[in-house]
Structures are given as structure tokens and as C-alpha cells.
Structure 1
Amino acid sequence: MASSLSWRVRQRNAWLLGLAPSLIVLTLLTLVPATALLVTSLTPFSLTDPVTTFTFTNPLVNYQQLLHDERFLGSLVTQLKLSVVSVFFQVLIGLLLALLLNGTSRWLNGVRTLLLIPMVLPPIIVALIWKIIYTPDISPLHQVLDRLNLPLDSLIANPDTALWAIALADIWQWFPFTMLMVLAALQMVPKDPQEAASLDGASAFNIFRFIVLPHLKPVLAVCVLFRLIDSFKAFPLIYILTDGGPGSVTEVTNYYGFIQAFNFSWWGYGSAIAVVILVGVFILSWLIGRAGWNDDSATH
């Protein structure tokens, strides 16, 4: 008994010792910056007034101000529009393409490889590509439309289309992520129930709806979760394409926080905005997890 207990202690110590380096790195890279962000958000810290660095006389002043900041509240609405539209179409297009390209032929492999290119490009390169596309003077798209007598104004200069132009660029870059995830999941869907349903006369749509889709639901939930989190980081596209304009129609929450911290040097206020984003992402992640992350009904 004592020997067994000693073995368990040594096993636990070895496990902790092996895990320690990862925990130290994780602490340094995540917990320390997150703690610094939270502490800073509780101060009126500004680079123009360094004395305010450790002033905690009214720690909730930044959050109170956010409740009355119409520009911040507007950025939340803008962020919500961009996230909902971009994530919805990324998942929808990725799902449809995965279903179309689910096969083993060499031709399908080539098409899948080509469609993965946008996802592996650096975000700044993607932003520059779409900047060229949306700039009438140098855009191949605008030149073609002009020759067809279909002139088109710059989409990123129009307040009615600027946000959707950014969403289009974001969808183009990240639909391959969903496509790749769903393609991998389709390889795990059992074939026997599909063949049995087909022999019983079930249509392709019903086979997909009642057999394939339940198996894909957890994967789709993961795709939505990952893409939703990343949609809050659509900084390069906005910075390069519109700089938050025209006016503030494309000014999402993280971009507004960037302006407050780096343009106006209000680091305390900018940190409070970042904390609100972080909390919002955690809440949305939990809700999506409840909706499908741990749903294992398809396996029963």
C-alpha cells in the first residue's frame, strides 16, 4: 500500500514538473498582461499625465463613462453587425463548399488547396489586396465595370457600403477555415446510416438534415466560436481600408479602444474598453458552448 502511494506521489510530481514550463509561459504571456490590463482599466492613466498611473480614488470611473459614451455604444452596434454578418457567411459558405468538395479525386484536392490560400495570407496582405480592389483608380474590378458601362463608386468611401465591404473581405479570408474544419468532420461521419437511408428512399437533403448535420453540429459550433472571437480582431482590415470611416461607420469596439489609447493617450479608458471586449467574448463563448460545443447527441 505504501509502495503504491509512493508511486502515485512520484507520478504526480513528475506530471507537475513536466507541466511547470508550460504553466510558467502561459502565466507570463496571458495572466500577467491580463492582470496589468485590468489594473490599468481601474485608473485614469494617461501618457500626458503620468501621475495618474496608480490613482485608484475612483476605480470604476472609466466603466461609468463607457455607459454614457455614445461613440463607444455605437462601436458596439457596429461590431455586432460586422461579427454577425461575417461569421454567418463564413460558416455558410465554408459548409456549402465542404459538401461540394468532399471527395478524393485529384481535381478536388487541387481546388481545396487553392481555396485555402486566403486563410494563409497575412492579414495585412489581405487588407492591401482589398484596398486595391476597392480603389477605383487602380482596381481591376472597377476597370471591368467601367468597360461594361456599369460604373461603381468606391465601396469603402460610401457610408452605406463601407462596413459590408470590410465584411466581404473578412468572409473571403476566413471561409476556408470553416471549409477545412467541416471537410475533416465529414470524414468521420459514418457511411452505413447514409447508405441505409438512401436505400429506404430518403432524399439527399433529408440525409444531410437528419444524419450528416447532427454530426457536424459540434464542429460548426467550434467554427462559430473561433470565428466570432477573431471577428473582434478585424483590426488590419479596418485600419488599412477605412481607418474607421467614413466618419465612424466602420469604427468597431477594438478600433475605438485603439484610438483612445494610442491617438489620445488615454490608456486607462482604452484598457477599460479592452476589458469589456474580453468579458463580452467570454460570455458569447459560453453561450455558443451551451448551444453546441458539448453537444454529443449525434454520437448516441
Structure 2
Amino acid sequence: MSDSISDLLNAAEDAGIQIKPGDQIQRIHRSLILPDPNQNRDDWDDPATRAHIEGIRKLMTKKLPSGQFFGIRLPLLVGQPNEEGKVPLIDGECRWRASEGVEEELQYLPCLVRAGDPLELRMDHATSNGARKDLTLYQTARAIQRDKEEFGLSNEDIAAIHGLRGAKAVSKHLAVLKLSPEAQKFAKDGSFKDVNLIYELRDLDPSELKKLEKLMAKGDSFQQALKAITNRKKAKEAPNNTSGEPESATGQPSPPSSKGSDSEPSEKITLRGIDLAAAVALADLLGVEDAANLPHPALEAKILASITSLA
């Protein structure tokens, strides 16, 4: 087990942890480290997470030829001690959990002790998770919600902290929290990473969600299964369009044209052929508010109204 301060600092920097003035390296017993009950990760019972923690435990307890344990080489990031001498854990809960029940000397964990107010420490926690890109969409959405409600951060600040591409991506992630519990399950278990698929997932009814789960159990990826179901849905809806009018991208008949009326004929446009993600992006460009959460017919109507107002 390495006791070199320089080795621990180098390990922290290699992991993307920026060393700040005033940071200190200390070995702190795990009993004095307090994990954050509101931290972003909430999948401690997930088999993959448990296997990851067990892997850390096996590695840290491995004996080297020198007779020393391999130990923990990447320091945990912690805040300043409270009146009882206990420090809040900012980053490294998997390593902290892995140290439970091991040899006593291994329960003294290398820690990078950082000063800072609660907002700064919260930002350190969020950015450390974002840099590893290991949170599910649901976990990221919950973290964003907490940052908005508890810390009052703007969408721009949240995007920067979580490594998202702009403030619009923040709204897309928050749409995860508006899914039905059945649909939300796929975002919770990490079945997919593309937040744009949220809109197609949102439109599946309970029976279609069960079909999605069955297709994935047979070996299809989330994207393959979702595409198969949405294609079937569109095929079933097509014969129901008896108005003679073309369907739009949302599967709804386009607004009736003025052809054959007493009014002056005019050419009409629809959003047919534009997928949902592209439609939301177009709506954002046109300044349509809360585009990501609008029902499809309302989204199409607002986009067409915005385009018409430009004429």
C-alpha cells in the first residue's frame, strides 16, 4: 500500500481531479467519512454496481510481493471535518463501500481534503460523476433537478457542471422525470444513453412497453427494440387515416388544405418525415417554449404557427 503523497496526488490528477490550493492528502478511517445521502448515484443494489465494488475490494486486499496490500491508490475527495472530526464524502463512495470489513489498516483511506462552501463541494461531486459519464439518464436527471431546486443553478451552469451540450440538453434530461414509472425503468437501468430517445419512449403505451422489454430480453438493443415497435405502430396507424390528407411526423392528419374552397388557393406544408428529435430541435430554434414536453400535435401546431409568423 503506497504511502507516497506525490503518488496519491499524481493518481488524483490522472483521474481528472484538479488539485486546488489548500488541498491536503490525509489517511482517514472509513468510520470518519460520511457519504452523502443525497448523492447522484442510487443504484447500490444493482448487480453491476455490487460487482464493481467487490472488484475494488478484491484488488485492494491483494498482497504484493513486498508483503503490503495493494490498497486504494486513488484518493477519495472529502470536505473539511465537522465538530466531531467527520468529513463529508464528495467523490469515491464505491471505494469507501469496498473498504467495509477489510483489514483494519486498509480502512484508513487516502483522502484529498478540500475546503469549500456547500455549493462548491456539490459542484465538485457533480463534475466528478460527469467526467466519468457513468450515471444513468435517470440519475443525471435527478441530479439536475436537485441542482435547480436546492442550489438554484441556472440551466447554463448545470450544463457545464454535468458536461451537457448546452441548456437545451438540461430540459431534455428533466423530461426523464416526467415519464411513466414503466417507461422510466429503462432510463433507470441504463438501457440507453441517448436522451433524444426519451420522446419516442414517452409515447409508448403499457402494452408497447412490455413488448419493448420482451424484445430486449431476446437480445435486441434498446434502440433496435424501440425502432421495431415504433415502426409497427406507424404501420398500424396509417390505414386509419381516411381523410385523404397526408400524415405528419406525429402520426396525426395534417391540417386540411384550402383546396376546393372559395378562399384563394395556397400551398400547405407539413412536418411529415421529420423525426421527433429533429422536430424538438427545430422548435427550440424557433423559440417554442418547453418544446421537449409538448404532446406531438401541440408541438407540430406551434412549429407551423411559428414558421407562418415569419412569412
TM-score bracket relative to the smaller structure = under 0.3
Which one scores higher on RCO, CA 8 angstroms, separation ≥ 6?
1
- Structure with a larger share of its residues in helix: 1
Which protein has the bigger strand share?
Answer: 2
TM-score of the superposed pair, with normalisation by structure 1: 0.22
User: If the length of structure 2 is used for normalisation, what is the TM-score?
Assistant: 0.22
Computing the radius of gyration from Cα coordinates, the structure with the larger value is 2
